[in-house]
Structure formats: structure tokens, C-alpha cells
Amino acid sequence: MRIAVTGTHGVGKSTLIEDFVSAVRAYEGVPEPYWLLAQDGMAFADGPNTADLEEQLKSSCALIGEQVTDEDVIFDRCPLDLVAYLDVVSAQEGFEWTPQGRLLGRMEKALSSLDLIVFVPLQQPDEISIEIEYPKLRRQVDRRLKAILRQDDLGLLEGGPRVLEVSGPPAERVRQLIAALG
């Protein structure tokens, strides 16, 4: 099964993936595009911006596309995360971001290759005990992701992967994911 975990920053996506891969050893975890690009030497601006987010979106589409033959894989982030960030950050930069031609096709192809998207929304009260960077951006991206995933307001999920929303402490999230896999 091909799974992607989505959510704003600091909600426990990486923890969920690490715990899941430890519990279900047949799965390979794939780090989020930001870290892979940083490992490859990409220099990011100080703070989120559309140029860096577009590179991460392209990388996410490529990662999911490259791993198409791997049957049991779980990705940290998917194109929808980055679209939500791009929507919010571009508005802050004073324009409306929209994917263009080939990129939209690559996004659709990547999403259609997934079997399941696991959404980790912000919880109230927040379980993350450390201070998170960009708290306003975090809340805005969470709201945008909820609209994208719950209402499919981009029209990218019809006939595509199933969406599972998980909540609770880390062990409960893993239990919910494993139960969804049947």
C-alpha cells in the first residue's frame, strides 16, 4: 500500500511515520521533501516563501512518482501539504498561487498513485510541548488542508486515494492507521 501523511508543521507526522514503520516493518518511510532537498544542498530562504515551496512541491511529486513500484511505502508529506502552504504563503506575499500546466498534471499523477492519505490535524489542546515556529502560518495551513481534504475544494481527490483523519496521542494514531489498513 502507498500511503502519504499530511498535516501542517509540528503536528506529529514524522513521529506517526516512525512509530508506524517500527510497528509494521514491511513499510519503508520516505522523509519529507524539505529534508531531502536540504541534504542535496538546496539553500532555503529564512522563512517560508513560494519559490522554496514550489521546489518542495516538485520534489514531492517526483518522490511519489519515483517510488511508484514500491508497494509498501509511507511518505512524509504529499503535494496537498505544499499546495496548502503555497496558498497561504502566496496570499501573504500578495498574490494568488495556482499550479500551472505540467505541475498540475504531475500533482494529479502523484496523488492518483497513492492508496491512502493520512491527515494529522492540529489538536486542541495542542499535544506538542515545544514552541513551534510560525504558529499563525501553522493554523492557517491546517485550516486550508482541512478544506482541501474534507471538501476536496481543489477537485484533486475524486477517484483518488482514500483519506483517513487520525487524532489522539501518538500510539492511538498508529492504531487508527493500522486498523484502516485492515
Residue 1 in contact with residue 182, Cβ under 8 Å? no
Q: Residue 144 is inside which H or E element, if any?
A: helix 135-151
Nearest to 12 by CA among 164, 148, 127: 127
Mean pLDDT by 10 residues, the chain (182 residues): 96 96 95 93 93 96 79 94 96 91 89 95 79 92 95 85 95 97 90
**Domains of the chain, earliest start first:** 2-181 (3.40.50.300)
DSSP 3-state assignment of 171? Answer: helix
CA distances from 36 to 52, 95, 177 (A): 13, 28, 25
The residues, ordered by sequence, that sit 6+ positions from 31 with a Cβ below 8 Å of its Cβ are 14, 76
Report the distance separating Cα 133 and Cα 174, nearest Å.
25
pLDDT at 153: 83
Which residues, in sequence order, are bridge partners of residue 3?
A: 74, 116
Nearest to 109 by CA among 40, 156, 155: 156
Q: What is the DSSP letter of 6?
A: E
Angle at 18 between CA 2 and CA 28, to 5 degrees: 40
Radius of gyration of the chain (CA): 15
pLDDT at 35: 93
pLDDT at 67: 66
Burial of 131-160, coded b for 16+ CB within 10 Å and e otherwise, reads eeeeeebbebbbebbbebbeeeebebbeeb
